[in-house]
Structure 1
Amino acid sequence: MKVDHAVSAYVVYKQSLGMRFATEARTLKSFSKSVGDVDFDRVGPELVRRFLDGNGPLTLFWHRKFGVLTGFYRFCLARGYVRTVPLPPRAPKCPQAFTGYIYSEAEIKLLLQAAAARTRCNIDASTSRTLLLLLYATGLRISEALHLNLADVDLNERVLQVRETKFYKTRLVPIGTDLTEVLREYALQRFKRPPSDPDAPFLLTRRGQRVSRAGAEEAFKQLREQAGVRRNDGARYQPRLHDLRHSFALTRLVHWYREGADVQRLLPQLATYLGHVHITGTQRYLSMTPELLQQACLRFERFVFGGTDHA
């Protein structure tokens, strides 16, 4: 049996169980492409290790690939597709967890200025600006923003409908007045003649097609470099488009601290707004920045020396 045939069988099996399995399927297709069009029995430890190691430093992605291949080979071994498992006997020590980047307001302005100057790109200035503000103001996942259709953007009621997200949930996301006007301006500019199809994409490329995630991330990389927004904390990765989600969550938390709100009571609401099933998913986004630490210290001082703030 060829590797790609085994991959197809495994993906069909997983999806038949009700699993979306999209990310894992992409990993397995990359594995199949990496080892080539060969019989399964010819895939030895060296080919597997070459796929796992890649060309860069060891990251958490190594462990994700290892986990996907472990399940894949367990499936194939049980069905007699292979006789041996060429995976490493043990995985290397997991590197330190990645810490998201928190954009300052000044950096957001620099990114918006860079977006306004875009001339030679499949994603024009208007779409770039709208996507940045949409992510920064709502904390949507990139895929959620890009999959919005015309019918999902209700500017009269000021609400977005995010359909079948990461956890197979559909949720309503209220938006503020400022973002509503941004989206209304974009809609008027992009859709001179309103499309008759409510399932038409909201965010468009210059050619009138739905913006892809790869295209959005590449465009953002160019924007970031043009704006001069960089990490200086020694991290391996530069700021990402997804980090706008981290920035939204942390900014909301800081605002609640400043307002004297009951943060512990409001955290479940933030988790629901972000589309998390459990509050632990939200806690990953709440990095301890100097501003957040300052607000937490002020809250603690008021609690110790008098006042009614909640801990």
Structure 2
Amino acid sequence: MTTLRLALDDYLDLRHSLGFSLRRDAKLLAQFISYLDEQHTDTVTTASAVAWASLPADASPGWLGFRMRVVRGFAAYLQTLDPAVEVPPPGLLSGNGRRAVPYLYSDTDIAALFAEAEQLRTPLRTATMHTVIGLLAVTGMRIGEVIDLDDTDFDATGGLLVVRHAKFGKSRQIPLHPSAVTALLAYQRLRDQTCPRLVASALLVSATGTRLLSYNVGQTFAKLVRRAGLTARSPSCRPRPHDLRHTFAVRTLLDWYRDDGDIAAQLPLLSTYLGHVSPANTYWYLHAAPELLAEAAKRLDATSGVPR
């Protein structure tokens, strides 16, 4: 094992102890070190960081910026051990700091994804993708949280999912609709019949009984999106698994608006449910979706007496 790989292990251990998950960071940094090995260099320079971060063809500025931020954090750690390490300045591949515009799925879109999942190679793969998509749509969980669920995190009697060690080290309980409980129990039965000797303790598994990998789920989801005919609405608004979480949040807020709910009082509840560190992160949805802006405008006009 190279010195850089040993340093990476120490860096990840340190960040994990502070409550960070870093699943994607760990994968990217391992790829970065492999790139440095191919270049026959054993240290990090600004030039090597930019060259690696820029590798993906046709990648969005946001993704290139994320890759650079991951390397910058690791380089800053390495520099405390070796002053010769260069830390790339913040302005490089910044990605403009813009968040992707949420792709809000309609019921028809979700039904189309389910239909395409029926065409996957095995009944277990179909059931697994149905369950992944369903959980993202009805709970607003993050994809990493869904993949990390263990069998013991599903309480069928209480109708709960327990999300452990989520983003920023936070844990929470998510109540499930009875229909979701029924669907998860059916999935477990099929899973156990198909893979009687599970390799992992995971709730959702691959065809070989192992825990799902985010990369593989993302690839399969992208395939379903293409086959379902779902297309980007703009360069910054493309259908992603994470947008099912956005769709859940926006639909919840829309329901509250249309029921004349007290949004200011209820928003912290949604923030807690989604696992946001602060309600400020949830307020982002109020200006990220045109549908919500329209509902907010209606309420403003009604209270101000402005005719429509």
Distance 1:196 1:205, change over 3 A: closer
Question: Residues 49 and 88 of structure 1 are in contact (CA less than 8 Å); yes or no, is this contact kept in structure 2?
Answer: no
Q: Which residue of 2 aligns with 1:309?
A: none
Q: Which residue of 2 aligns with 1:299?
A: 299
The 2-side partners of 1:27 and 1:193 are apart by 33
Q: Which residue of 1 aligns with 2:125?
A: 124
* Within-5 A mapping of 1:40-79: 40=42, 44-56=45-57, 57=59, 59-79=61-81
Distance 1:50 1:107, change over 3 A: same
Q: Which residue of 2 aligns with 1:102?
A: 104
Question: Residues 5 and 30 of structure 2 are in contact (CA less than 8 Å); yes or no, is this contact kept in structure 1?
Answer: yes
The 1-side partners of 2:15 and 2:152 are apart by 31
The one-letter amino acid of 1:168's match is G
* Within-5 A mapping of 1:227-238: 227-232=228-233, 234-235=234-235, 238=238
Structure 1 spans left out of the alignment, 5+ residues: 307-311
Deviation at 1:29, TM superposition (A): 2.0
Render the CA deviation track for 1:241-276: whole Å, top value 9, x for unaligned: 111000000010001111111011111000100111
Q: Which residue of 2 aligns with 1:36?
A: 37
Aligned identity (percent) is: 28
Aligned length: 301
Q: Which residue of 1 aligns with 2:260?
A: 260
Question: Residues 64 and 93 of structure 2 are in contact (CA less than 8 Å); yes or no, is this contact kept in structure 1?
Answer: no
Distance 1:19 1:205, change over 3 A: closer
- In terms of mean alpha carbon deviation, does 275-284 or 131-140 score higher? 275-284
Q: Which residue of 2 aligns with 1:87?
A: 88
The one-letter amino acid of 1:214's match is Y
Larger helix percent: 2
Q: Are 1:224 and 2:225 an aligned pair?
A: yes
Deviation at 1:184, TM superposition (A): 2.6
The 2-side partners of 1:99 and 1:26 are apart by 25
The 1-side partners of 2:213 and 2:171 are apart by 21
Normalized against structure 1, the TM-score is what?
0.83
Deviation at 1:155, TM superposition (A): 1.8
Q: Which residue of 2 aligns with 1:190?
A: 191
Deviation at 1:174, TM superposition (A): 0.5
Deviation at 1:188, TM superposition (A): 3.1
Distance 1:201 1:97, change over 3 A: closer
The 1-side partners of 2:63 and 2:194 are apart by 44
Secondary structure class of the residue paired with 2:161: strand
Deviation at 1:28, TM superposition (A): 2.6
The 2-side partners of 1:58 and 1:188 are apart by 41
Secondary structure class of the residue paired with 1:161: strand
* Within-5 A mapping of 1:127-138: 127-138=128-139
Normalized against structure 2, the TM-score is what?
0.84
Question: Residues 172 and 275 of structure 2 are in contact (CA less than 8 Å); yes or no, is this contact kept in structure 1?
Answer: yes
Q: Which residue of 2 aligns with 1:282?
A: 282
The 2-side partners of 1:117 and 1:161 are apart by 31
Question: Residues 254 and 295 of structure 2 are in contact (CA less than 8 Å); yes or no, is this contact kept in structure 1?
Answer: yes
Q: Which structure is larger by alpha-carbon Rg, 1 or 2?
A: 1
Q: CA RMSD in A?
A: 3.1
Deviation at 1:52, TM superposition (A): 2.4
Deviation at 1:156, TM superposition (A): 1.9
Distance 1:202 1:158, change over 3 A: same
Distance 1:45 1:164, change over 3 A: closer
Q: Which residue of 1 aligns with 2:158?
A: 157
Render the CA deviation track for 1:206-255: whole Å, top value 9, x for unaligned: 333222212211111111111111123x2156311111000000010001
Distance 1:211 1:27, change over 3 A: closer
Deviation at 1:134, TM superposition (A): 1.0
- In terms of mean alpha carbon deviation, does 120-129 or 202-211 score higher? 120-129
The 1-side partners of 2:73 and 2:207 are apart by 41
The 2-side partners of 1:13 and 1:293 are apart by 42
Question: Residues 135 and 244 of structure 1 are in contact (CA less than 8 Å); yes or no, is this contact kept in structure 2?
Answer: yes
Q: Which residue of 1 aligns with 2:249?
A: 249
The 1-side partners of 2:294 and 2:88 are apart by 47
Question: Residues 100 and 287 of structure 1 are in contact (CA less than 8 Å); yes or no, is this contact kept in structure 2?
Answer: no
Question: Residues 201 and 209 of structure 1 are in contact (CA less than 8 Å); yes or no, is this contact kept in structure 2?
Answer: yes
The one-letter amino acid of 2:187's match is Y
Deviation at 1:31, TM superposition (A): 1.8
